[in-house]
Chain A
Amino acid sequence: MQAPSPSLIADNLACRRGERLLFRRLSFRLDGGAACHVTGANGAGKTTLIRALAGLTTPYAGTVRRQGALALLDERTGLDPDLPLARALGFWAGIDRVADRQAIMARLRLAALAEVPVRYLSTGQKKRAALARVLGQAAPVWLLDEPLAGLDTASQALVGELVREHCSGGGIALIASHQPLDVPFMTSFAIEDFAPAPAEEDEA
């Protein structure tokens, strides 16, 4: 599958939650190999931005253009809670035609948990399981919403490592997090910089 170089472009994006305008005039362009860190307080609109970029919701204004398949990590794992982890991941591995499921599970230190039903996993373990799903998807564009939440130090370092690898392989990663991530070439912006001024909010 030799696809054209991936890109993710937001043009003059504005999003609302309910009646409240969260951000506006947000534009950026990410090309293959780029990593971008979106910071912002809780409720500033990071998740809303990610969902709009993923095409799951329609932005209030502006457009999102994307080249290349997309993988999304958010607080919803997409894994059946009643199934053992290996089978829950196996469903997505089947859809994504993953060749080496064992290697991905081992990479995320999930091998020992293979037979444990997903609902018994801890927050961090669930997050790693969701990362395994993202990794298996082998999509060039990654949208990671709070990938570090609930992870121990070793796993946080692993996320940094995975992002570095993904980007050096020509992938794009956009990471919304209020924790720092060890990716040297990563650019960053604060979503609050695009929040409307109070007077402007009244107009909206």
Chain B
Amino acid sequence: MIAALLRRDLAQFFPFTGSGAALPVVFFVAVAMLFPFAVGPDANVMAKTGGGVVWIAALLAAILPLEKLVARDIALGFFDQLRLRGITEEAMMAVRLLAHWLSFGPPLLLATFPAAALLKIEGESFSILLLGLLAGTPGLAAIGLMIAALTASLRAGAALSGLLLIPLALPILIFGAGALARQDHISLGFVGAISLGLAALAPFAAGAAIRAARENE
């Protein structure tokens, strides 16, 4: 049952196959591509700031799929039907978190290769960037899921979710991008810890939000 649910969620959100399209990844690469045009192709400047730009691009790319993440299936009665079959909201949201991360985390990591080449991020910096994104994207996905579930029943939910994600994602951004500036791996541990904490919390918070949305409709 859970496997069928995961397959369905993945089909919904995966780039190129699902209706989610590849927009977040395209957006991510586009930011990396535009940056050298905006600040000039000075290799030193880019090496210093490029990593931060990739992180900001990743954060913004995480906002794009939020609109469809939960609200559409509430309107569809999809979660109601699952509930009647004895699947808890927490389980639904845990599966959705996994599907959401799989559909934007790994594609984003792959897109980091061309993005890093465009921004002249090489060597140790590149490996820290990649590891940081690997550790940070589950956290971004978890924050995104919680916000998407909380704002699903609001009329301006989509616009609000972007605003809400940014402050909540700050710790991940600070440690993730900070690791690049200091060239250390310890901050990456913090990023991973924050991510894990958020990922553990998200199904419960999002599940409760879905139940609350039902009571209020």
Contacts and interface: CB of A to CB of B under 8 A. Distances in A.
A56 interface: yes
Given A71-B84, A96-B85, A77 B77 contact: yes
A156 B30 CA distance: 54
A76 B84 contact: no
B19 A82 contact: yes
Interface residues of B, number: 18
A182 B214 CA distance: 32
Contacts of A55: 83-84
B78 A56 contact: no
Nearest to A58: B215
A56 B76 contact: no
A169 interface: no
A76 B215 contact: no
Interface string A128-153: 00000100010000000000000000
A156 B4 CA distance: 33
B211 to A, nearest CB: 9
Nearest to A17: B217
B12 A80 contact: yes
A173 interface: no
Contact of A92 (B76, B81, B215): B81
Given A82-B19, A96-B85, A76 B8 contact: no
B1 interface: yes
Given A77-B76, A80-B12, A82-B19, A56 B81 contact: no
A81 B80 CA distance: 16
Interface in A154-186: none
B163 interface: no
A76 B80 contact: yes
B76 A80 contact: yes
Interface string A82-110: 10000000011011100000000000000
Given A82-B19, A94-B4, A95-B1, A72 B84 contact: yes
Contact of B214 (A57, A69, A95, A137): A57
B75 interface: yes
A54 interface: yes
Nearest to A133: B81
Given A57-B215, A82-B19, A95-B1, A76 B85 contact: no
A76 B75 contact: yes
Interface string B77-96: 11011111100000000000
Contacts of A80: 8, 12, 76
Interface centre among B8, B75, B76, B84 (most CB of A within 10 A): B84
Nearest to A51: B214
A91 B4 contact: yes
A187 B47 CA distance: 77
Q: Which of A51, A56, A70, A94 has the largest number of chain B CB atoms within 10 A?
A: A56
Nearest to A92: B81
B81 A78 contact: yes
10 A-B pairs with the lowest CB-CB distances in the bound complex, closest first: A76-B77, A78-B81, A78-B77, A94-B4, A82-B19, A78-B78, A70-B84, A57-B215, A91-B8, A56-B214
Given A69-B84, A76-B80, 19 more contacts: A55-B83, A56-B214, A57-B214, A69-B85, A71-B84, A72-B80, A72-B84, A74-B77, A78-B77, A78-B78, A78-B81, A79-B76, A80-B8, A80-B76, A91-B8, A94-B4, A95-B1, A95-B4, A133-B81
21 contacts: A51-B214, A54-B80, A54-B84, A56-B83, A57-B215, A69-B85, A71-B84, A72-B80, A72-B81, A77-B76, A78-B77, A78-B80, A78-B81, A79-B76, A80-B8, A82-B19, A91-B4, A95-B1, A95-B5, A96-B85, A137-B85
Interface of A: 51, 54-58, 69-72, 74, 76-82, 91-92, 94-96, 133, 137
